[in-house]
Amino acid sequence: MIAQTPASGAEPGLARHVAMIMDGNRRWARERGLTSIDGHRAGARTLREITRASTPLGIEILTVYAFSEENWQREPSEVDLLMELVRAFAHDEREALGSTNVRVQAIGRLDALPVPTKLALDALIAATAGNDGLILNLALNYGSRSELCDAIRALSIDVKSGRLALSAIDDNVLSTYLYTAGLPDPDLLIRTGGELRLSNFLLYQVAYTELWSTPVYWPDFDADRLAEALASFATRQRRFGR
């Protein structure tokens, strides 16, 4: 497990942990006269390409916003197809991710996922657990506000039981109660689709993360555009409030 360190621990100019809001699947499909699930399938293919392109570009951790808590509010048929797509990705990519030394992790309220989806995800995580290359961190049924509520609840229980002193609570301690415990904060957050908002994604962790947005829809995002984002990051001077 990677030790908990702030984003500032990364080598200057190098984005070791990249977070992604993969936005624009439905708009991409609508503009082409396709269904929403066609857009999501195209997005899954893009995730495969970006995962494979990440290690040569120096990325060590890729955290992707795959399904938010708010996404449950979509049409039930679309939600069912999304859960099926997660299952298919977990099954179809297992061998490829294993052969490329990718380790899959997941964050979010995973127990609320449909049982077949959760089982497929667990199998993928177990199958890649021994790999020590790129970490592909899937945010599923994830919401940052829920993450903070869960962290505060768990922290409060430990204080009440005497396992944790109230005076010991600081940023580092709180970080160990988050879903991302053991991972450094993202250096760079990329959002596709042209929107300029965080959408309840990693609100605590991106306090000093560099942001990069592109109007390109996620299905059209590729390794060249990822390299463009990393090149932009490399030119930035990160002061962390100093």
Domains (range + CATH), the chain:
14-143+185-233 (3.40.1180.10)
Cα distances from 152 to residues 175, 195, 205, in angstroms, run 11, 30, 15
Mean pLDDT of 135-159: 98
**Would residue 38 show up in a list of annotated catalytic residues for this protein?**
no
pLDDT band at 226 (very low <50, low <70, confident <90, very high): very high
Cα distances from 203 to residues 87, 184, 198, 240, in angstroms, run 27, 14, 7, 16
**pLDDT score for 202:** 98
Cα distances from 56 to residues 42, 59, 60, 171, 192, in angstroms, run 23, 7, 10, 32, 21
Using one digit for the tens of pLDDT, what is the confidence trace for 110-132? 999 999 999 999 999 999 999 99
pTM of the predicted model as reported, rounded to 2 decimal places: 0.93
pLDDT band at 142 (very low <50, low <70, confident <90, very high): very high
**Would residue 71 show up in a list of annotated catalytic residues for this protein?**
yes
Give just the sign of the alpha carbon dihedral 128, 44, 4, 150.
negative
pLDDT band at 241 (very low <50, low <70, confident <90, very high): confident
Strands (E), the chain: 17-21, 61-68, 103-107, 135-142, 188-191, 210-213
Using one digit for the tens of pLDDT, what is the confidence trace for 41-76? 999 999 999 999 999 999 999 999 999 999 999 999
pLDDT band at 238 (very low <50, low <70, confident <90, very high): confident
**pLDDT score for 11:** 59
**pLDDT score for 2:** 40
Mean pLDDT of 209-215: 98
Token code pair at residue 174: 């709180």
Identified catalytic residue from 23, 25, 137, 141: 23
**pLDDT score for 6:** 44
Identified catalytic residue from 71, 158, 200, 222: 71
Q: Return the closest-CA partner of residue 205 out of 155, 159, 142.
A: 142
